[in-house]
Structure 1
Amino acid sequence: MAQTFRYLTLTGYFGLFALMMLWPTVLAAAPQIPVALVLIVTVTPLLLLVRGLLAFNPKSYAWAGFISLLYFAHGAVEVYANAGARWLAGSEILFSLLLFFGSALALRFRRQAP
């Protein structure tokens, strides 16, 4: 059961990572904000987790749950404030919830495994 939620976590993680890479560069680039700055701010927290998530490190899964809430909050604000990018913000909310619930449930069921 823990493996199923691990894959759910990784789906949310890589979906969020791809979205955060594509949103400011290809899908809806903002000309007034430097793209490199946006990528540093949005992608760096995700890059800090990749090694631990792939290795199924419990601390990384716990931190992934915490960090995913930042992306959820950002997506919720963008859904309300930016009508042109609602589908992107909705995708961010979906991936952040997959990451949050997947990591929480993977940790829960990993502890219960013998």
Structure 2
Amino acid sequence: MTPPTTAMQPRTAFYRWLALSANFALLVWIVLWQLKLSPHPHLNANALAIGWVIPLLLPLYGIIKGKPYTHAWANFVLMLYFLHALTLLYVDGGERWLALVELVLTFAAFIGNTLYARLRGKELGLKLTKLSEVEKQEKARFDHP
């Protein structure tokens, strides 16, 4: 597959930068948190760090390549960190500031991913087929007289 040749608008480039920097910052933050800032007292910190980092690594290649679809589905991965941060903000006073940083980074990555995927997808002419069109196509394909 050849890379897209359509020029990227400045606004799209800003959201790409936001998505890249926030995703990388969240990755680094999770490693620092689990290994240095507040390692778990009873569990292996290395194993926890690896466990928390693996989901962030799954969409990383597509995010680096600037693929709009990867940016869009990466938000599903971010929900794990969003829920983790909100839960710790509510229940754990000792790690509340760590969770707040995680929440801010996750929110920034979510906004960057969403708006980059939307804007770049429009620039490249990518779009999902409307459900009514899919239904018409399926009906024509499977309903035989």
How far apart are the structure 2 equivalents of 1:81 and 1:112? 41
Q: Unpaired runs of 5+ in structure 2?
A: 1-10, 125-145
Q: Which amino acid aligns with 1:60?
A: T
The reply on whether 1:64 has 2:66 as its aligned counterpart is no
Indicate the percent of aligned positions where both proteins have the same amino acid.
32
Q: Note the C-alpha offset of 1:37.
A: 2.2
Q: CA RMSD in A?
A: 1.2
| Equivalent position of 2:136 in the other structure | none
Q: Unpaired runs of 5+ in structure 1?
A: none
| Equivalent position of 1:54 in the other structure | 64
Q: Which amino acid aligns with 1:86?
A: R
Q: TM-score, normalised by structure 2?
A: 0.74
Q: Note the C-alpha offset of 1:45.
A: 0.7
User: Larger RCO: Structure 1 or Structure 2 (Cα < 8 Å, ≥ 6 residues apart)?
Assistant: 1
| Equivalent position of 2:108 in the other structure | 98
Which of these two proteins has the greater Rg computed from alpha carbons?
Answer: 2
Instruction: Find runs of 4+ consecutive structure 1 residues off by over 2 angstroms.
Output: 111-114
Q: TM-score, normalised by structure 1?
A: 0.93
Structure (1 or 2) with the greater helix fraction: 1
